Structure formats: C-alpha cells, structure tokens
Chain A
Amino acid sequence: MMKTRLSLLAAAAGLFCAGAVGAIAQEAPPVKGGALNMIAQPEPPMLMVGLNTQGPTLYVGGQIYQSLLTYGTDLKPLPSLAKSWVVSDDGLTYTFTLQDNVKWHDGKPFSADDVVFTADKFLREAHPRWRLIATTYVDSITSPAPNQVVFKLKKPFSAFLHAFELSSFPIIPKHLYDGTDYRTNPANQTPIGTGPFKLKEWKRGSYIHLVRNEDYWKPGKPYLDELYFRIIPDSASRAVAFEKGTVDVLRGGDVEGFEVRRLIKLPEVENTTSGWENYAPLVFMQMNQRSMPFSDKRVRQAIMHAIDREFIVKNVFFGLGKVATGPFASTTLYYTPDVPAYPFDLPKAKKILADAGIKPADYTIRLMPLPYGAAWDRMSEYVKQQIEQLGFKVVIQGVDAGGWSQKLADFDFDLTFNFTYQYGDPALGVARHYLSNNIIKGTPYGNNQNYVNPKVDELFGLAAGAVSKDVAAKAYTEAQKIIVDEVALGWLYEMQNVTINRKKVKNLVRTGIGLNESMDEVWISK
C-alpha cells in the first residue's frame, strides 16, 4: 500500500501547492462580484466539450463542464470533480473519490453514475482520443459507491492519470444524454454542467453570456457574477477592443504577434506565457516518406540544417516561441534535450545531399501550407526559399482547412506543416505521430508521413506500459534520440501563447490548462 499512501500524499500536496500558489498570487482578499469580458475567437460552434474540443469551445465550455482532474503548471494532477485518487501497486486499478454536494446546473445531483456513463458510453462513442485509450487499456469502469469510480485496466498505462483533463474527459450528465442521439441532443444547445458558471444567453455572432452558478460545490465560489465572451472576428478589432477596455483578457492567438508586443506595454496590463504547459503545442513539418526525396533520411536531415528556425520564431512569429529540439516539447514529461542537434548550416545541408549522391534538381516538392493565416503563409514561403537553395524545385499548393485535412488523410502531399498538442504525457499527444500502427488512410491526425521504425514502436509501447517512471523515462529518452536522428518529422518550434489581461483581474492563470480552467478563483479588484 506504499504506492497508495504516496498517491494520497501527492493529492494532498497538490491541494496544498494550489492553495499556496493562490495565496502568493493574491495581494488582497478576493472581492466578490463583477463581470469579466473576454473574447471567444473563432466563435465556437457549440459549448458541448464532449463533442467539440476546439480552443474556443474549451475556453467557454470549461466554465460549464468539468473533469475529474486538472493539472498544475508542473503537470502534476490536481483535484477537480475527484477530490482524491488511489492507484494500485500493479498500476491496474485507479479509484477516484468524488467531491461531495455537487449538483448539475439543472439541480439534479451529480454522482459516480455520471462518470461511468461518460467514460463507458458517451466518450467511447463521441471522443476518438478517449475511445482509443478505453479500447486499448480499460477493462471495466464501475461505481462501487455513489461517490466512487473504479477504472480497472487490462494492462498498465503510465499516462492514464493524465487522461482526465477537460478536453480529454469532460463529465456529461447521464440523465440528459443516456439513450439519446448525442449529436442532435437539444441539451447541446443548453449545456448543463457542474462548473462555476451557467449559460444565460448565447446571441450567435455577438456574445456568450454566463452567470454565476449559485449552487456551485465550492462554498463561496465563484467570485465573479458573470462572464461575457464576445465574438469579434477581426484580429485588429480585437486589439482595439482590449485597448479601449471593452474586454479585459486576451487569450493566446486572439491578436497578431506584432500587436502582442504593443499591447503588453500598455499601462495596468500584465501578461504571462504560463497556462499552456499541458497542451504545449509544437509545430513541425510533415515530410511524406512514401517516396523520394523524403524517404531518404539524409534528405530530411539536410532540410533541417537548411532551415533557420530561430529566424522563423523571431521574424515570422514575432518571438512568440522557442526552437524545438525534438518530438517532445520542453515542458512535456520525459523530455530530454540530449538528442542530435540540427543547427542552421546551409553548406552542411548541401554536403549531406552531395555525399548521399542525391540530385535535388531531379525532384519537385509540393508544399502544402497550413491554412491558418498570414504568419503560416509567410513560414511556407520562407521554407520554400530555403529548400530551393538546396536545389529542389518547390511548388506551393494552397488549400483551405477542409482541403488540407482531406489531402493529409489521403496522404496526398509531399511537405506540409502541422502542430500537435502534447497533453502532458507523450503517450497521449506525441506517440500518435510516430507509431507505425497509426498509419491509417482516412485519418488526418496520425502518422501521416509514414515513419516506420519497429524499435521506436517497441520503445513507445514499453514506456506506455511501464509501471515505474524510471522505466518509462529510459524508454522515452532512447526513442527521442532515434526519432531525432531519423528526422521522423521536421520539428520547428514550441508555440508560446501569451495571455494578456488588465492587472485588476486576479488569479486568472493558475494551472497547466490555463484559461480552460474553471474560473472559480478569479476575481476583479475594485
């Protein structure tokens, strides 16, 4: 039972740390009341986070729905709807004890049945990421008591405790969804959660208005009366909205990089890059390895040397990032910087190609930009220019978002850009891009570049199934070295998202999921 005690201690320590962080951050006692104005960009299609996990949906929906756990900026699990948890010594049984006196927004009591329904029925059908975990690892989900849920696994899964964040495991009310068509359920339009705020009104194209949940399970919380998420589609207008005081908070991506530099200098404004540790978005090039030239790892290595990634971060993304060293973001568990490096060195890139006997002029590369805006287009143009310096012919093929994911799913590309959320543990957000059993036609977000290395498959499998953290760390370190040496993907940079807010808004970013966290501790000083 050593492990059990340790887990309980960890939970208690987590609670203590969260409290301590809160105490340090607060300059004065919290004040009740007030409205917080934010921006939901783009407008979410719905607020039901079980069916849609886009950023804005999580941002707004995170105030309505909750999960069992949340994660600190150090990625340690923290209590949310689960107040404590115990992991068995063999790593096969996870027992969660739920918070007391939790009610859904419609007044019905929340219980372990809701968690079992969510895990065993709703998310298995509607959530591809949870379905994969449940199918591969979960043997049974039961509720031995109204406030207790037990997950029994078929085999150990070292990342299991990291799979309970809001976007991966939002708890859904059984009494509204059981036995219905989840996608057309009217409750999707009037979301009912357990979170600190309830939906009051959604005027599509204009704003989403949430109000305080008076029956919230944390006594005396939340502090704020209401939240407004405004829909302002134009980036320049969003900057004006902040400058003019119409909104109090700008989330990463709300305004262009060059606006960030200007806005953070405004008086009574503060900013932070914290709050993205759990997602740690990492940008990479996907080189289709099904045919030459990218089937040859020396070409991929040469291209890594031909691209000045510092230049991309500084000049294309206005310094909002950090050059990536490999497949794991530096904040992700098991990250190691001890991998082969690819500094910008054009002569070396040319030499690698010459030594390999490759004639770049023989190849025309179709470069498909990620259609996410001007900065991404500029990056595509820069990469084209650099690859052409090696002698390759490069043709940019522009597509929209639908066309991009279709071509990626059909493996109909030579070179494209993409980014991935890491979800704290490599088994959740990273491995999917390197495992050979994840090369599936028709799937846009897997190993679409066709990277195959049985050793890497074995190491990822070993790490994911490890009960001991040391075993997992060793396997992941070795995997990173191989993957980086073989340039399975062309890692460019770790995205840095800046949250900008007025200083009067307190306790805004507290955990590794940042603004998706329930804002039950946020308050506005008078």
Chain B
Amino acid sequence: MPALLTLCRQGKILKTLDFLFQRFVKAILVVLGVVILNFVLIHMAPGDPASVLAGEAGAGDAKFIAQLRAQFGLDQPLYWQLWTYLKGVLTGDLGYSYRNQVPVMTLILDRLPATLLLTGCAFVFSLVLGILLGVIAAYRRGSIADSVVMTSALVFYATPLFWIALMSVLVFSLHLDWLPPFDMESIGANYTGWARVADIAHHLVLPTVTLGLFFTAVYTRLTRASMLEVMALDFVKTARAKGVPKAQIIRRHVLRNAILPVFTFASMQAGQLVGGAVLTETVFAWPGIGRLMFDALLQRDYPVLLGVFLVTAAVVVLVNLITDLLYRFVDPRIEAAS
C-alpha cells in the first residue's frame, strides 16, 4: 500500500512537472511572439529616433541625422535589426537607450522595483478589499450595506483614474495635509531602516488606493455575482438544511467555489495594472517603468520601448502561469480533469 501511494505521488509530481514544462515553453513562445510583433509595429510607425535626437541636440542637418542612424544601426535593413535585437535578448542584452545613453536593462532595473511595489500593493489591496466587500454584499443581499457597497463600486468603476488621483491629492495632501502628494519617499530626508520603510509606506497610500479603487470595484461586483450564483446551488441548500452555520457555509462552501472567476479575472488584470500605472505614476511622480515607457514612446526610444514591453509581457505571462498553478491548488477538480 505505501508503495502504491508513493507511485501515485510520483505520478502526480511528474504530471505537475510535465504541466509546468509545457506551460513554460508556451510562455517563452508567447514572449518571443510579443517581442517580434512589437518590434515590427514600432518600426512601422512614422518617425525616427534620429530626427528626434537631432532636434534635442539643437538642430539637425541631414549629415548629422545620417551619422546618428549609422551609430544606432537604424540604417540597416529591418530584418537585420530584428535579428541583432533577438540575438541580444537571448543573451540578456536589451540594447542601449538612444536617448538616455545607458543600457536599457539598467534603466528598467532602476525603475521596475517601484512599479512592482506599487502594482503589487494595488493588486493585493484591490483583491482583498474587493473580495471582502463582495462577500459582505452577497451575504447581506438587499440590505443597506449591499446598496452602499454596490453604489460605491459603480461610482469607482465609472470614475476616471486621473480624476480620482487629482482629487485625492487636493483633499488628502493639499487641504488636510495627511499624506504626501508625490514621490516614492521624502527627498533629502535620507531615512534608513524601518524609518525608510515607514516613509515609503506613507508615500504609497495615495497611489495604491487610487490605482486599486477601480479594480476593487471590479472584484467586488464579480465576487458578489459569483457568490450569489453559488449560493443558489443545491449543495448550499443541503448544507443549510443540515444546520451548518451560515458563516461557515459562506467561508467553506460558497466562497471557495465562487472565487475561481475572480482569480481568472485577477490574472488578466495584471497587464492592465501595469498599463494603469502609467497614469498613476504620472500624477504621483512615482519613479516606475510606466512613465519610462511613456517617455520612450514620445521620444521614439525603440530599445527602451521594446525592453519595457518585453518585461511587461514576461510579468503578465508569469502571473498567468502562477494563476494556472493556483487553480490546481484552489480547485482540485481541475487537476483531476487534466
């Protein structure tokens, strides 16, 4: 019997490893596809980084622009530029920023932690609060609490992000002076240790809440709808008939079944969070990659743009991979079916 159990476990591990390998290969192919597609799309757009750079250098004669094009390899055929870029990517070299004159990897690594911190906090904030409010609204369906939660969710779902951001700065920073309006930490304060952590946390409140509110509204509505659907199923009625306390039914039986669509949606939101971070980072002067991407787009800094797209795509693919693994954990039926 123990030998049989061991065999079963080994089979399970092998299955999981096989699944992971397949998903990993697919993930690499997706990222590669994104890189090639982005490369072609960016180069199809009218305009050229050399002429933008020439303008920034104070003028631009044709000779100077040609010199810049040659220097950055922009005078080579497109397929050759793509091949050179792909070779670089495979060796971990994302190229050199035309405009900033530093390696793209350095620029991205400088800015990525700030974006991950902001989007990570916003993600957790919105997911936890959204599920909590969704459960409350479903649990107290038709009550005042349900109405308040759902109306607020609708308001935050419909209000533009930049407006919420600006209003929160005006109210909580300018008038009430409770929270810092921008930056990731107090410039010039030179805090260290826990004092620095507290300072960053203080600066994180407004951007996190602003970025998270829209998604909180989405998760609230989704959780409520999903919960109500599950609550109407027969097994819930059976549990009630058996006298299981309502709170326990909600926690153990309803929420666990209702959470899957929320997880699915959350994984899809990962990419949108990075996109939404462009606006939030702009208003709150948060030094992340969202703003780096926006500036690179305006200045036609192709290598930076491609690098940011690559990293974003990798993050989205990774989050999806983690979600797939979580599915198997949260709902064992998925694993059994596979």
Does A443 reach chain B (CB closer than 8 Å)? Answer: yes
Does A12 reach chain B (CB closer than 8 Å)? Answer: no
Does B88 reach chain A (CB closer than 8 Å)? Answer: no
Does B300 reach chain A (CB closer than 8 Å)? Answer: yes
- Pair A401/B52 contact, Cβ less than 8 Å: yes
In-complex Cβ contact of B46 among A126, A206, A403, A444 (8 A): A403
0 or 1 for each of B178-220: is its CB under 8 Å from A? (1 = yes) = 0001111001100000000000000000000000000000000
Which residues of chain A come closer than 8 Å to B60, judged between CB atoms? 128, 409, 443-445
0 or 1 for each of B286-303: is its CB under 8 Å from A? (1 = yes) = 111001100101111000
- Pair B55/A205 contact, Cβ less than 8 Å: no
Does B2 reach chain A (CB closer than 8 Å)? Answer: no
In-complex Cβ contact of A234 among B102, B285, B292, B295 (8 A): B285
11 A-B pairs whose Cβ atoms sit less than 8 Å apart in the complex: A51-B101, A52-B57, A129-B58, A184-B96, A206-B285, A241-B181, A243-B174, A399-B46, A402-B47, A409-B65, A445-B59
Does A43 reach chain B (CB closer than 8 Å)? Answer: yes
- Pair A402/B51 contact, Cβ less than 8 Å: yes
Does B18 reach chain A (CB closer than 8 Å)? Answer: no
Determine how close the nearest CB of chain B comes to the CB of A132; give it in whole angstroms. Answer: 7
In-complex Cβ contact of A237 among B55, B59, B181, B291 (8 A): B181
In-complex Cβ contact of A230 among B51, B56, B187, B282 (8 A): B187
In-complex Cβ contact of B285 among A168, A237, A401 (8 A): A237
Which residues of chain B come closer than 8 Å to A43, judged between CB atoms? 295
* Complex: A446 Cα to B286 Cα, angstroms: 38
- Pair B65/A442 contact, Cβ less than 8 Å: yes
Does A526 reach chain B (CB closer than 8 Å)? Answer: no
How many residues in A have their beta carbons less than 8 Å from beta carbons of B? 61
| A226 nearest CB neighbor, chain B only | B188
Determine how close the nearest CB of chain A comes to the CB of B133; give it in whole angstroms. Answer: 29
Does A109 reach chain B (CB closer than 8 Å)? Answer: no
Which residues of chain B come closer than 8 Å to A243, judged between CB atoms? 174
* Complex: A52 Cα to B52 Cα, angstroms: 11
Count chain A CB atoms within 10 A of each CB in B48, B59, B187 and give the residue with the most: B59
Which residues of chain A come closer than 8 Å to B114, judged between CB atoms? 205
- Pair A129/B51 contact, Cβ less than 8 Å: no
Determine how close the nearest CB of chain A comes to the CB of B172; give it in whole angstroms. Answer: 11
Which residues of chain A come closer than 8 Å to B71, judged between CB atoms? 183
* Complex: A334 Cα to B99 Cα, angstroms: 37
- Pair B59/A440 contact, Cβ less than 8 Å: no
Does B110 reach chain A (CB closer than 8 Å)? Answer: yes
Which residues of chain A come closer than 8 Å to B58, judged between CB atoms? 53, 127-129, 167-168
Which residues of chain B come closer than 8 Å to A403, judged between CB atoms? 45-47
**Which 4 A-B residue pairs are closest in the complex by CB-CB distance?**
A402-B47, A205-B287, A442-B62, A53-B58
* Complex: A188 Cα to B66 Cα, angstroms: 22
- Pair B287/A409 contact, Cβ less than 8 Å: no
- Pair B57/A244 contact, Cβ less than 8 Å: no
0 or 1 for each of A19-58: is its CB under 8 Å from B? (1 = yes) = 0000000000000000100000011011010011110010
Count chain B CB atoms within 10 A of each CB in A132, A226, A240 and give the residue with the most: A240
Q: How large is the interface on B (under 10, 10 to 19, 20 to 34, 35 or more residues)?
A: 35 or more
* Complex: A128 Cα to B53 Cα, angstroms: 11
Which residues of chain B come closer than 8 Å to A205, judged between CB atoms? 110-111, 114, 281, 285-288, 291-292
Instruction: Please judge, given known A-B contacts A237-B285, A442-B65, A443-B62, whether A204 and B47 are in contact too, CB under 8 Å.
Output: no
- Pair A206/B187 contact, Cβ less than 8 Å: yes
Which residues of chain B come closer than 8 Å to A203, judged between CB atoms? 287
0 or 1 for each of A89-125: is its CB under 8 Å from B? (1 = yes) = 0000000000000000000000000000000000000
Seen from chain B, the residues whose Cβ lies within 8 Å of a Cβ on chain A are 45-49, 51-52, 54-62, 64-66, 71, 96-97, 99-102, 107, 110-111, 114, 166, 169-170, 173-174, 181-184, 187-188, 281-288, 291-292, 295, 297-300
Does A156 reach chain B (CB closer than 8 Å)? Answer: no
- Pair A189/B110 contact, Cβ less than 8 Å: no
In-complex Cβ contact of B181 among A167, A184, A189, A240 (8 A): A240
Does A407 reach chain B (CB closer than 8 Å)? Answer: yes
- Pair B51/A405 contact, Cβ less than 8 Å: yes
Which residues of chain B come closer than 8 Å to A234, judged between CB atoms? 282-283, 285
- Pair A204/B101 contact, Cβ less than 8 Å: no
Which residues of chain A come closer than 8 Å to B54, judged between CB atoms? 128, 405, 444-445
Determine how close the nearest CB of chain A comes to the CB of B321; give it in whole angstroms. Answer: 29
Known pairs A244-B174, A405-B52, A409-B51 / 11 extra A-B pairs, C-beta < 8 Å: A184-B101, A188-B101, A209-B187, A228-B187, A236-B283, A240-B173, A243-B174, A401-B300, A402-B48, A402-B51, A405-B47
Count chain B CB atoms within 10 A of each CB in A45, A54, A131 and give the residue with the most: A45
- Pair B61/A402 contact, Cβ less than 8 Å: no
Does A469 reach chain B (CB closer than 8 Å)? Answer: no
| CB-CB contacts below 8 Å: A372-431 with B | 399-407, 409
Which residues of chain B come closer than 8 Å to A401, judged between CB atoms? 47, 52, 298-300
Determine how close the nearest CB of chain B comes to the CB of A386; give it in whole angstroms. Answer: 27
Determine how close the nearest CB of chain A comes to the CB of B332; give it in whole angstroms. Answer: 44
- Pair B170/A240 contact, Cβ less than 8 Å: yes
- Pair A52/B288 contact, Cβ less than 8 Å: no
* Complex: A507 Cα to B138 Cα, angstroms: 64
Which residues of chain A come closer than 8 Å to B96, judged between CB atoms? 184
Count chain B CB atoms within 10 A of each CB in A43, A234, A241 and give the residue with the most: A234
- Pair A444/B101 contact, Cβ less than 8 Å: no
Which residues of chain A come closer than 8 Å to B56, judged between CB atoms? 45, 52-54, 57
In-complex Cβ contact of B298 among A167, A246, A400, A409 (8 A): A400
- Pair A204/B111 contact, Cβ less than 8 Å: yes
In-complex Cβ contact of B61 among A51, A128, A240, A405 (8 A): A128
Determine how close the nearest CB of chain A comes to the CB of B294; give it in whole angstroms. Answer: 8
- Pair A240/B169 contact, Cβ less than 8 Å: yes
In-complex Cβ contact of A400 among B47, B166, B287 (8 A): B47
* Complex: A246 Cα to B174 Cα, angstroms: 11
Does A232 reach chain B (CB closer than 8 Å)? Answer: yes
Does A344 reach chain B (CB closer than 8 Å)? Answer: no
Does A86 reach chain B (CB closer than 8 Å)? Answer: no
Instruction: Please judge, given known A-B contacts A54-B56, A203-B287, A237-B283, whether A402 and B183 are in contact too, CB under 8 Å.
Output: no
Instruction: Please judge, given known A-B contacts A205-B287, A206-B285, whether A129 and B59 are in contact too, CB under 8 Å.
Output: yes
| A405 nearest CB neighbor, chain B only | B51
0 or 1 for each of A186-218: is its CB under 8 Å from B? (1 = yes) = 001100000000000001111101000000000
Which residues of chain A come closer than 8 Å to B173, judged between CB atoms? 240, 244
Determine how close the nearest CB of chain A comes to the CB of B322; give it in whole angstroms. Answer: 27
Which residues of chain A come closer than 8 Å to B182, judged between CB atoms? 232, 237, 240-241, 246
Count chain A CB atoms within 10 A of each CB in B65, B71, B187, B299 and give the residue with the most: B187
